[in-house]
Amino acid sequence: MVFEDLYKMYWQKIFRLCMGYVNDHDLAQDMAQETFIIVWQEMPKFRNEANISTWIFRIASNNCLRQIEKQKRHPKVELPLNLKYVKDENIEPEIQFLYKCICELPETERLIISLELENIKQSEIANIVGLSEVNIRVKIHRIKEKLTQKFKENGHQ
Amino acid sequence: MDTNNINFGELWNAKNAKQPATKNLLVKIKKLKRSNRIGLILINIILVLTSIFFLSIWFYYEPELITTKIGIVLTILAMFVFVMAHNRSFKLFKNAKKTQSNSEYLKDLLSIKTKQQFLQTTMLNLYFILLSLGIGLYIYEYTEQMTSFWGIFAYVITSFWILFNWFYLRPKQIKKQRAELNEIINKFENIQSQLKQE
């Protein structure tokens, strides 16, 4: 598979994963770019026996996990990369609320629910995170309950 | 609880970000590679230059006593140790496999952080010991040529400076590094505990 194809296919998915993790548009975009830089570096080592989607989501979620340490080392720099981009103001508040709720979850739950909402099979999520499938199923159920609860408290239907 | 009446998937997928052109990303990758290489080259150049500086003292002033020569070697060694430790702790991260599962990756990060902590403290101690010894030996030849009052005075001042480094700057530096690393280690441990199988 060519890098350009992967980049086109996975950009939005990876961006959303990062966005669920940090709930900060600019930072998420930077993190998504970092992910693809790693993908580019790791590609020669990719063996076809692995599932490319699992492989790429592992890189992305591991990069999210390292964010804690990076924020310490390089205080966030504002890069006006996409000045023309219109910010989220006119997007339905529900979307913003969902991302906000997800970002408030514990780190691993953020990753798990993001992958689930991205329609990734639970067996694959188990493989990305490194937990059993049963465990993932239980966790997803609980996280969805939490989210529903929060939405209801906030008066959303 | 019914979780089906809110379509999270639909809300989730409504979020998009403008995708930077592939060309831009590739430019970024190239820049990153270059800046990494420049950093490495720069450190080594500095190292070589300082070594040349000290060696030129050796040849230019032609010290007679062996203590002076040992002093110079120890001082250079101290700097090597420092730079090596810096390089190694940097490399540790490069070796962490980024394509393993999250739980394995977290395990790796934690062990790297612990190694880093050890490396930083040990190397910093070694650096200070070598540097102090080196300077102490180095100045011997020159203080010997002074009157005993000024010779002792020079040693007192130097010792004072070394003790200040050892008892004030070194612990302060170690404490700072420890605090930073501990904070990260704690956070990683916290994330890891989230992954405990229930």
pLDDT above 80: residue A1: no
- Give the range among A22-26, B28-32, B86-90, B109-113 with minimum mean pLDDT: B86-90
pLDDT at A98: 92
Question: What is the reported pTM?
Answer: 0.80
* ipTM for the whole predicted complex goes beyond 0.90: no
Which pLDDT band holds residue A86 (cuts at 50, 70, 90)?
very low
Q: Cβ of A148 and B104 within 8 Å?
A: no
Tell me whether B110 touches chain A (CB under 8 Å). Answer: no
Nearest to B198 among A114, A128, A135 (CB): A135
pLDDT at B2: 47
C-alpha–C-alpha distance, residues A79 and B30, integer Å: 18
What's the distance, Cα to Cα, between the start and end of chain A in Å? Answer: 42
Mean pLDDT value across residues B52-58: 83
Residue with tokens 């993932």, as numbered in its chain: A136
**Residues of chain B with C-beta less than 8 angstroms from the C-beta of A156:** 6
How many angstroms away from the CA of A83 is the closest CA of chain B? 11
How many angstroms away from the CA of B84 is the closest CA of chain A? 20
Q: Are B20 and A81 in contact (CB under 8 A)?
A: yes
- Coil, helix or strand for A43? helix
Q: Cβ of B183 and A72 within 8 Å?
A: yes
Mean pLDDT value across residues B174-186: 87
Return left, alpha or beta for B196; rule: phi > 0 is left, psi -120 to 50 is alpha, else beta: beta
Q: Cβ of A98 and B100 within 8 Å?
A: no
Give the count of beta carbons closer than 10 Å to the beta carbon of residue B21.
Answer: 10
pLDDT, tens digit, 9 for 90 and up, residues A114-154: 999 999 999 999 999 999 999 999 999 999 999 999 988 88
pLDDT above 80: residue B91: no
Q: How many alpha carbons fall within 13 Å on the CB side of residue B165? A: 17
pLDDT above 90: residue A74: no
Q: Cβ of A145 and B1 within 8 Å?
A: yes
Q: Cβ of A130 and B195 within 8 Å?
A: yes
Nearest to B99 among A12, A58, A129 (CB): A58
Nearest to B19 among A11, A109, A127 (CB): A11
Nearest to A55 among B99, B103, B195 (CB): B99
pLDDT, tens digit, 9 for 90 and up, residues A31-57: 999 999 999 989 988 887 778 999 999
Helices (H), A74-132: 93-103, 107-117, 122-129
pLDDT above 90: residue B22: no
How many angstroms away from the CA of B98 is the closest CA of chain A? 6
pLDDT, tens digit, 9 for 90 and up, residues B119-149: 888 888 999 999 999 999 988 888 888 888 9
- Name the residue among B97, B191, B102, B103 with its Cα closest to residue A58: B102
Q: Cβ of A68 and B20 within 8 Å?
A: no
